[in-house]
Structure 1
Amino acid sequence: MKRRAFLALAGGLAVAPGSVLAAKKTNTNTSSKPAAKATAKKPAGKAGAKAAPAKSNARGNTANLRPSAPNQPPAGHVTGMRPAPLPRPRQQSWRHYDLVVKVTAPDSGQPLRAWIPVPSENDWQRVEDLDWQGNYGKAGLRRDGDSGLLTFFAEWPAGTRAPTLELKLRLGTRQRLFDITRRGATPETEEVLNQNLQSLGPWPQDVLAELAERITGRIREPMPQALAIYDWVVDHGISCSGAPESIQAALCARNDGGAGLAGIFVALCRACGIPARRVSGQRLGPSRQSPSLGASGDVSTAQHWRAEFHAPFYGWVPVDPADAALAQRQDGDSGALRKRLFGFWEMNWAAYSSADGVHLPQGPGESLPVVDRPLLAQVERDGSVRLLGRQGGISLEARPSEG
C-alpha cells in the first residue's frame, strides 16, 4: 500500500475507529507457512473515498508507505496588517530507522490484547513501511478519537498457545530546527490552544502560578518568558535543589525518560498563559549531539519526553529541557547544546502523542496518562481488561537504516 493510501486510512480512523488494515487469522494450521504480504489490486482513490482494506492471512501483512513529495504552496504577501505566511525553511535531509517490536506473551488461558503506539505524521517524521506477522486472531490499526494516538492493535483468543507478534516499522525523520528570524502567519485553532492551557499534572496550581511569575519577572513576551522558564527548569534539573517541595520529585527524577522536566516546563508555561504540551516518544539511534542523548539496539526502556510551546508569529517551538540537563550532568556540556535544545529536536527519536490522556481502543475503561511504549493486557472473565505490566513479554529494537 502506498503512503498516500495509508494516510487516508489512518486519517479516516478519527471518525471510524474500527479496524483498518485488519488482519484476521483464517486458519490456525498455517502458522508454519511463510508470511504473505498484502498488495492492493487497485490504486488508492481520492482523499475521502472509502479505501479497501489490505488482504491478510494468519501470518502477516505489509503496508508499503512510500513518501510522496509535499506540495509547495506559493509564497504569500502582506495584506494590510496581516503577516505573510511563513516561507518554507531549507529542507533537512531524511534519516531512516528500523524499529522492530516483538511480543511473546505467556499462555494464560484468557484472551490477550496488545497495543503498539505508531509514530505520528508531521513535517519531520513519517512512517514509510509497516509489516507484521504472528499467530494473533485479529490485528490492525486503531486510533483514539480523543487523543489522536494511532496504535497497532492485536488480539489473541483464549487458548492460543505461545501468543506472538512481530511488527517491523520503517521511519523517516529529519531535524526539527526553529528559526527565530522567520516570522509569519502560524494558524492554530482556538480549541487546540485552549486545550494546551489547562492545568497539568498533580502539582498545585497556586504554587506553579507563583513560581512562573517569579521566574519571568517583568518579561511579558511569550518567547523570552518561555526561555526563562526553560533555563530555570534545566538549572534545577541539574542541581536538584532550590525548587518548591511539591515539584521537587519531578525535577529530580532520573529514570522517567524526561517526563518530569518536560512536564514542569509545560505546566509553568501554561501557568503564565503560554500554550504548551509534552510530547511522548521513543529514542531510535545514536545522537550526533552528545553521547548520552541516543540509543540503539535494545531500546525497550529508551522512551523520552520532549516539549513544545506556542508563540505568536512562530507557531509551535520545540524544546528539550530533559536532554539539556542530562547532557550537562553526564557529558559535561559547556552550555552550547543547552542553548541549541531551545528550538531544536534531534530526530534520532520518534514522537507518539502530545495528548494529556489516552483511551486505548478495546482497552481498560479508564484513561491512561500516556502510552509511550507497547502494552499487553489480559481480558478477564468478567470482560474487564487488565494491563500485564509495561514491559512484560515485549521487546523493542531500533537501528539506523540506509533507507
Structure 2
Amino acid sequence: MTTVAALARRQFIQKTSAALAASALPAINFAQSAAPAARTFNPQPGHWRTFELTTRVVIAKPQGTTKVWLPVPSVNTDWQQPLESSFSSNGKAQLTSDGQHGARMVYAEFAEGVAQPYVELTSRFKTQNRSMALVRQNLGAVDAAELRAEMAPTQLLPTDGIVRDTALKAVAGARTDVEKVQKLYDWIVANTYREPKTRGCGEGDIKTMLETGNLGGKCADLNALFVGLCRAAGVPARDVYGLRLVPSAFGYKELSGNPAKLQGAQHCRSEVFLKGFGWVAMDPADVAKVMRQETAQWIKTADHPLVAPVNKALFGGWEGNWVAFNTAHDITLPHSAGGKLGFFMYPVAETAAGRLDSYTPALFSYRISAREV
C-alpha cells in the first residue's frame, strides 16, 4: 500500500533526478540554439597611421643576368601619403616607374657571377581608413582623360560580349550610377565566392570566369570582375593593388596581416568614380573572404551577423591596415624580357632561365615585413 507520504517522496525524487539530469547536459547544446553574436566593422577616417614596409629579395639560383622589380607605394591621395623609400643591393639598383601607369618600383640588375644577388627596399607611408558618406562634394575639375582610361578595356578586363551582357542584366532598373554600382556589388557578393585553392590572388581573367561559369577565385579575380562589370555598365572603375600590413582593429582574422611575415598578404581592392562624390572605395572580394574563411563553416548569406557589417562597410569604405602600390593593368616592366603583367603587387624576378614564380616566396626567395612607427 502506497501512502500519501510515500507518493510525495517518490514524486520529489523523480523531479530532482530530472533536474539533475538537465543540469548535466553539455552547455553547447544551449549555445547552439542561440543566435550568433553581432560583430562590428565600421572603419572611419580621421586617424593617420605611419608604417614602414621592408621587402628583401635574395635570388637563390641566379643564372646569367638577373633582374628584380619591387613595387613601391605610388598612390598619393587623401587616404594614403607615401613618404620616402630607400634601398640597398649588391647589384645596380634604381628607383623607376613603368612609364605609363605611374607604377613606381625599384629595379635591380645583377651581372652574371654575382653570388647571392640581393636587394632590400624599405618604404614609409601614411594610411587612414575610408568611409563614404553619400554627400555630394565640390570635386573641382575632373580629369576626363583619367576617367576615360578607367573605362577602357584591358587584356583581362574586356567590356564587350558576355561582360557587357552580364553587366546590363545586373543593373537593370538602376537609374543612377550609385544604384548601378550597388547592384553590381550585390551581384558579386551573391554570385561569386572565395576559392582558397586559387594560387596567389588569382589571375583576373573575367571573360573566362563568365564563359565557364566558374565564379570562384580570390581578390584579383572577384574585384577584377566587379571593375570590369562597372566599366561595361558605364561607370569608371579600377583595381587598386596592395598589401595587408597589420591585424584588423575589428578582430577579423581574414582581414588582417601578420606584420612579421607578409608573404602572401597581397590584396587587391577596387574603386569606382561616382559623379559628385569622386573615387569611392569598394571591396566585395573581402566580403566573400569573410563568408568563406572567417569561420570553419562556409557562410552562405551576407545577412549573417558576422558578414553583414563587413558587407555594409566595404561598399564605400575600407580599413587602413593596408597599403596601395598602384592601379596599373597590363603593365610592362622596364628592361624585362618577359611579357606584360596583368597587375604588379608581388616581387618579380627574371634570370636567364626565365621569370621566377612570384607565388612561391620560399623558392624565389623573398621576405616582407612591416612595423608601425
TM-score bin, normalised by smaller chain: 0.7 to 0.9
Query: Which residue of structure 1 lines up, in the alignment, with residue 168 of structure 2?
Result: 213
Question: Structure 1 residues 182 and 397, CA, compared in 2 at 3 Å: closer, same or farther?
Answer: same
The equivalent of 1:399 in structure 2 is 370
Structure 1 CA distance for aligned equivalents of residues 194 and 45 of structure 2: 37
Partner of residue 246, structure 1: 211
Q: Does 1:278 align with 2:251?
A: no
Aligned residue type for 1:196: E
Instruction: Look up the match of 2:357.
Output: 389
Q: Distance in 1 between matches of 2:142 and 2:212?
A: 30
Cα shift at 1:156: 1.2
Shift of 1:107: 4.6
SS in structure 1 at match of 2:192 = helix
Going from structure 1 to structure 2, the CA distance change for 1:109 and 1:377 (only over 3 Å counts) comes to: closer
1:319 and 1:109, CA in 2 relative to 1: closer, same or farther beyond 3 A?
A: closer
Kindly name which structure, 1 or 2, has the bigger radius of gyration based on alpha carbons: 2
Deviations 1:348-397 (A, max 9, x none): 111122122111111136322111111111257xxxxx312213433233
Deviation, structure 1 residue 91: 6.1
Q: 1:244 to 1:225 in 2, by over 3 A?
A: same
Aligned ranges for residues 317-396 of structure 1 at < 5 Å? Answer: 317-331=280-294, 333-364=306-337, 366-379=339-352, 386-390=354-358, 391=361, 392-396=363-367
Partner of 1:188: 142
Within a 5 Å distance, the mapping from 1:3-402 to structure 2 comes to 92-120=46-74, 121-136=76-91, 138-200=92-154, 201=156, 205-238=160-193, 245-246=210-211, 248-249=213-214, 251-253=215-217, 256=218, 258-289=219-250, 290-296=252-258, 297-331=260-294, 333-364=306-337, 366-379=339-352, 386-390=354-358, 391=361, 392-401=363-372
User: What amino acid is aligned across from residue 111 of structure 1 in structure 2?
Assistant: T
**CA 1:260 to 1:91, structure 2 compared with 1: closer, same or farther past 3 Å?**
closer
Q: Residues of 2 paired with 1:185 and 1:170: CA distance?
A: 28
Q: Distance in 1 between matches of 2:139 and 2:120?
A: 43
- Aligned equivalents of 2:287, 2:172: Cα separation in 1: 23
CA change 1:273–1:292 in 2 (3 A) is same
User: Structure 1 residues 348 and 361, CA, compared in 2 at 3 Å: closer, same or farther?
Assistant: same
Relative contact order, higher structure (CA 8 A, sep 6+): 2
- For 2:159 and 2:274, the matched residues in 1 are separated by 25
Contact 1:99–1:396 at 8 Å: present in 2 too? no
Q: Identity percentage over the alignment?
A: 29
1:3 is matched with none
Corresponding residue SS for 2:138: coil
Deviation at 1:236, TM superposition (A): 1.4
CA distance in structure 1 between the partners assigned to 2:211 and 2:220 by the alignment: 16
C-alpha separation in 1, matches of 2:136 and 2:220:
30
The runs of 5 or more residues in structure 1 that have no matched partner are 1-89, 381-385
Deviation at 1:98, TM superposition (A): 2.5
- Give me the whole-angstrom Cα distance separating, in 2, the residues matched to 1:239 and 1:393: 26
What is the letter of the counterpart of residue 254 of structure 2? S
Conserved? CA contact 1:102–1:395, under 8 Å: yes
1 CA distance for matches of 2:97 and 2:141? 25
Partner of 1:66: none
Structure 2 unmatched ranges of 5 or more: 1-43, 196-207, 300-305
TM-score, length of structure 1 as denominator length: 0.69
Question: Structure 1 residues 124, 375: CA separation in 2 closer, same or farther (over 3 Å shift)?
Answer: same
Name the amino acid aligned to 1:124: W
Higher normalized helix content (fraction of residues): 2
Segments of 4+ moved more than 3 angstroms: none
Amino acid at match of 2:125: L
Q: Assess if the C-alpha contact under 8 Å between 1:124 and 1:176 holds in 2.
A: yes
For the residue of structure 2 that corresponds to 1:345, the secondary structure is: coil
Return 391-400 or 149-158, whichever deviates more.
Answer: 391-400
Compute the displacement of 1:205 (Å). Answer: 2.6
Count of aligned pairs: 301
Describe the superposition over 1:218-262 as per-residue Cα deviations: whole angstroms up to 9, x where unpaired.
11200111011001101112499xx9851633x311xx4x01111
SS at match of 1:141: strand
- Give the whole-Å Cα distance in 1 for the aligned partners of 2:61 and 2:273: 48
What TM-score comes out, normalization by structure 2 length?
0.74
Alignment CA distance shift 1:246-1:135 (3 Å): same
Q: 1:285 to 1:259 in 2, by over 3 A?
A: same
Whether the 8 Å contact between 2:331 and 2:344 is mirrored in structure 1 is: yes
| Comparing 107-116 and 389-398, the one that deviates more | 389-398
Structure 2 counterpart of 1:264, which letter? Answer: L
Deviation at 1:274, TM superposition (A): 0.7
